[in-house]
C-alpha cells in the first residue's frame, strides 16, 4: 500500500502535476506516514527521474520547471507536519541559510531549512541567488553561529568557496562555522574549500549543525 503511494508520488512529479502531488502529500499526513519518508522515497524519486531524463536530452526545461513546481507543492504541504514532528523547542543556534549566487534551485535548501527549524535552530533563509556579500552581511547582522550554503550546479558551487575566501579576507573566518551541501558537493570539495561541515541530505544537515554548535 505504502509502496503504491510512493509510486504515485513519484509519478505526480514526473507528470508535473502539483495538484496530484498536494493531494498525495495530504493523504500521507492523514495516513500517519513520516513526511520526510514521503519526500525521500516518493517525491524525490520522481524529481531525480526527471533530472536524469533532462541530462539525457529526453526531457526539456518546461518539464524540469513543472517537476520543480510539483515538488515545491508537495514539500509545502508536508512542511507543517515536519515541524510538528521535530518540535524540540530549545534554541540550538542561529543559521544563515541560502542557495548561492547564480543558482535558483530552492527545494533542497528549503527542506534543510525546515528540518533545522524543526530541530530548534533559528533559521534566517535568504532564499536563492544570494551573493557572498549578502550572506556575510546577514551573518554579521544576526550574529549567526552557522552559515549554511546550498549549490546545485557545478558552475555555482565555486560561490561556496568565494564566501569562505571572503570571510578569511575580512578576518571573520573563525567567527562562523560554514556548512555546505547540494547534489554536486563531495567530501573532496568540502576539504578543498575548508568548510566545517557537509551533509548529503536534510537529516544529516541537522546532525552536522548540532555538532558544529556543540564544538563552539
Ligand atoms: Co535544475 N539542474 N537547472 N532546475 N534541476 C539540476 C541540478 C541538474 C543536475 C539536472 C540534470 O541535468 N540532471 C542540472 C545541473 C547539472 C550540473 O551542474 N552538473 C540542472 C541544470 C543544468 C539546470 C539549468 C542550468 C537548466 C537550464 O536552464 N538549461 C537551470 C539553472 C538555473 C539556475 O539555477 N541558474 C535549472 C533550473 C531548474 C528549475 C528552475 C527548472 C528547477 C528548480 C525549481 C526550484 O528549485 N524551485 C530545477 C530542478 C527541479 C532540478 C532537479 C531535477 C531537481 C532538484 C531538486 O529540487 N531536487 C535537478 C536534478 C537532480 O538533482 N536530480 C536539477 C530535490 C531536492 C530535495 O534535492 O536539491 O539535491 P537537493 O537537496 C538535497 C541534498 O542535496 C541536500 O539535502 C537536500 C534534501 O535531501 N542538500 C543539502 C541541499 N542543500 C543542502 C545544504 C546543506 C546540506 C545538505 O547544508 C548547507
Q: Give me the pLDDT at residue 118, please.
A: 76
CB distance 207 to ligand 1 below 6 Å: no
What is d(CA 122, CA 143) in angstroms, rounded to the nearest whole number?
11
Q: Whose CA is nearest to atom 71 of ligand 1?
A: 108
Whether the CB-CB separation of 110 and 163 falls below 8 Å is answered with: no
Q: What percent of the chain has pLDDT over 70?
A: 98
What percent of the chain clears pLDDT 90, i.e. is strictly above it? Answer: 85
Cα 90 to averaged position of ligand 1 atoms, centre (Å): 32
For residue range 46-59, list pLDDT tens digits in order.
Answer: 998 999 999 999 99
In DSSP terms, 94 is beta-bridged to: 122
Please provide residue 102's backbone torsions phi and psi, each rounded to the nearest 5 degrees. 85, 0
Average pLDDT of the residues in 38-48:
93
pLDDT of 83 reads 84
* CA distance linking residue 120 with residue 91, whole number of Å: 5
| Rounded Cα distance, 32 and 77, in Å | 14
pLDDT tens digit sequence for 67-114: 999 999 999 999 899 888 876 566 889 999 999 999 999 999 998 998
Mean pLDDT of 1-25: 95
What pLDDT is attached to residue 3?
93
- Residue 203: what pLDDT? 84
C-alpha cell at 213: 554548535
Mutate to test the pocket of ligand 1, among 36, 108, 111, 198 (most ligand atoms within 8 A of CB): 108
Say how far apart CA 143 and CA 140 lie, in whole Å. Answer: 5
Average confidence (pLDDT) over 203-210: 93
Domains of the chain, each with CATH number or no CATH: 2-85 (1.10.1240.10), 94-215 (3.40.50.280)
- pLDDT the model gives residue 88: 59
Cβ–Cβ under 8 Å, residues 78 and 106: no
Q: Which of 66, 97, 105, 200 to mutate to test the pocket of ligand 1 (most atoms within 8 A of CB)?
A: 105
Structure confidence by residue, pLDDT tens digits, 124-181: 999 999 999 999 999 999 999 999 999 999 999 999 999 999 999 999 999 999 999 9
Strand ranges for the chain from DSSP E: 93-99, 121-125, 146-150, 177-181, 197-198
Return the C-alpha cell found at 64: 524540469
Helix, strand, or coil (residue 187)? helix
CA distance 123 to 206: 12
Euclidean distance between CA atoms 205 and 203, whole angstroms: 5
Query: What pLDDT shows up at residue 87?
Result: 64
Question: Can you tell me the distance from the alpha carbon of 82 to that of 214, in angstroms, rounded to the nearest whole number?
Answer: 24
Q: The cell 527545494 sits on which residue?
A: 107
Amino acid at each position: 500500500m505504502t509502496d503504491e503511494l510512493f509510486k504515485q508520488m513519484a509519478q505526480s512529479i514526473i507528470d508535473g502535476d502539483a495538484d496530484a502531488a498536494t493531494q498525495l502529500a495530504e493523504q500521507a499526513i492523514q495516513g500517519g506516514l513520516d513526511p520526510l519518508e514521503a519526500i525521500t522515497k516518493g517525491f524525490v524519486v520522481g524529481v531525480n527521474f526527471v533530472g536524469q531524463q533532462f541530462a539525457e536530452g529526453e526531457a526539456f526545461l518546461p518539464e524540469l520547471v513543472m517537476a520543480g513546481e510539483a515538488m515545491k507543492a508537495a514539500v509545502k504541504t508536508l512542511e507543517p507536519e515536519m515541524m510538528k514532528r521535530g518540535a524540540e523547542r530549545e534554541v540550538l543556534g542561529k543559521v544563515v541559510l541560502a542557495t548561492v549566487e547564480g543558482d535558483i534551485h530552492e527545494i533542497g535548501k528549503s527542506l534543510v531549512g525546515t528540518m533545522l527549524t524543526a530541530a530548534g535552530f533559528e533559521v534566517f533563509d535568504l532564499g536563492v541567488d544570494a551573493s557572498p556579500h549578502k550572506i556575510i552581511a546577514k551573518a554579521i547582522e544576526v550574529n549567526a553561529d552557522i552559515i549554511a550554503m546550498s549549490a546545485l550546479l557545478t558552475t555555482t558551487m565555486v560561490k561556496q568557496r568565494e564566501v569562505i575566501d571572503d570571510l578569511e579576507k575580512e578576518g571573520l573566518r573563525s567567527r562562523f562555522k560554514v556548512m555546505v551541501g547540494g547534489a554536486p558537493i563531495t567530501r573532496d570539495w568540502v576539504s578543498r574549500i575548508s568548510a566545517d561541515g557537509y551533509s548529503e541530505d536534510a537529516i544529516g544537515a541537522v546532525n552536522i549543525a548540532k555538532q558544529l554548535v556543540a564544538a563552539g
